[in-house]
Structure 1
């Protein structure tokens, strides 16, 4: 009989618990925003566009740590849903600016309330200092590993 060294349990790993919580929190939020006809990735882009105002797609890609191709696809989907629009100055048709439509500007606060609701649903039981500590731990991990890509899925 071959002896194997002891193997740790799944539950012994912080990553296991992070993934467990993340899956449940993300799934619930996905259902909430999809009920309004958008994906989580589209929500992230809508939120960023609200903050930036009229913007070049390359700037959006840089801000969100996404490829220009991925941003272009998301913009196209938002345009097809009449939530965003592209414009090009007559002097340079290659340069594009994208911005939210009135419908897009109206939808962002609705989706933001859903994000707030989702946070309360999963983390509302934490004391203020516990929530602050949890955020600090997670933000420290992001900073330590120099992660810049915005989570969109």
Structure 2
């Protein structure tokens, strides 16, 4: 619960700006990920954004309808989809990005750069440890009742 409360406290600051540009947190995450690569397959985008494939599918459909991304199917393999950020998506990044960076700067100022770096290290450690063993649900399957 502490992790969820902390995430919510941080994200509350970002949502105001995102809502002002009619974009969700998840859509912003996708646009940010796409802005750092040229073109990417959907499976790679799933991994880099930590979104579930069905959710990402819906998000991509919405972003494509708003002409913020470009989806293309390579002629060599019609089963694949390649996604890239459209000029309108880059323009949105240019507008919203500075607000996002200002929030990160304020978080750093309030919490402290050293504490923030330590927190990020600890969260990476937690992620690594939690990834190293099977989810609790799987472990419970092995227990005889």
Displacement of 1:92 in angstroms is 4.2
Pair 1:146-2:131 in alignment? yes
Distance of aligned partners of 1:89 and 1:137 in 2 relative to their CA distance in 1, 3 Å threshold = closer
Q: Distance in 2 between matches of 1:146 and 1:114?
A: 33
Change (3 A) 1:86 1:144: same
**Structure 2: 5+ residue runs without aligned partners?**
133-145
Q: CA deviation at 1:71?
A: 1.6
Contact 1:41 1:74 in 2 (8 A): yes
Equivalents in 1 of 2:110, 2:76: separation in Å? 55
Take 2:127 and 2:80, find their aligned partners in 1: how far apart are those partners?
33
What's the offset of the Cα at 1:146?
A: 2.0
Counterpart of 1:110 in structure 2 is: 95
Q: Relative contact order, CA 8 A, sep 6+: which one is greater? A: 1
TM-score, normalised with respect to structure 1: 0.73
2:114 is matched with 129
Compared with structure 1, are the counterparts of its residues 143 and 112 closer, same or farther at alpha carbon in structure 2 (3 Å cutoff)? farther
**Deviation per residue, 1:61-108 (Å, 9 max, x gap):** 233333322221111111111101212234544322221110111222
Q: 1:64 to 1:135 in 2, by over 3 A?
A: same
Q: Which runs of 5+ in 1 are unaligned?
A: 1-14, 148-153
Normalising by structure 2, what TM-score?
A: 0.76
Aligned in 2, Cα 1:79/1:140: closer, same or farther, shift over 3 Å?
A: same
Q: Does 1:25 align with 2:6?
A: no
The CA distance in 2 between the partners of 1:72 and 1:53, in whole Å, is 19
Q: State the shift of 1:21 in Å.
A: 3.1
Larger Rg: 1
What's the counterpart of residue 74 of structure 1? Answer: 59
Q: How far apart in 2 are the matches of 1:120 and 1:20?
A: 20
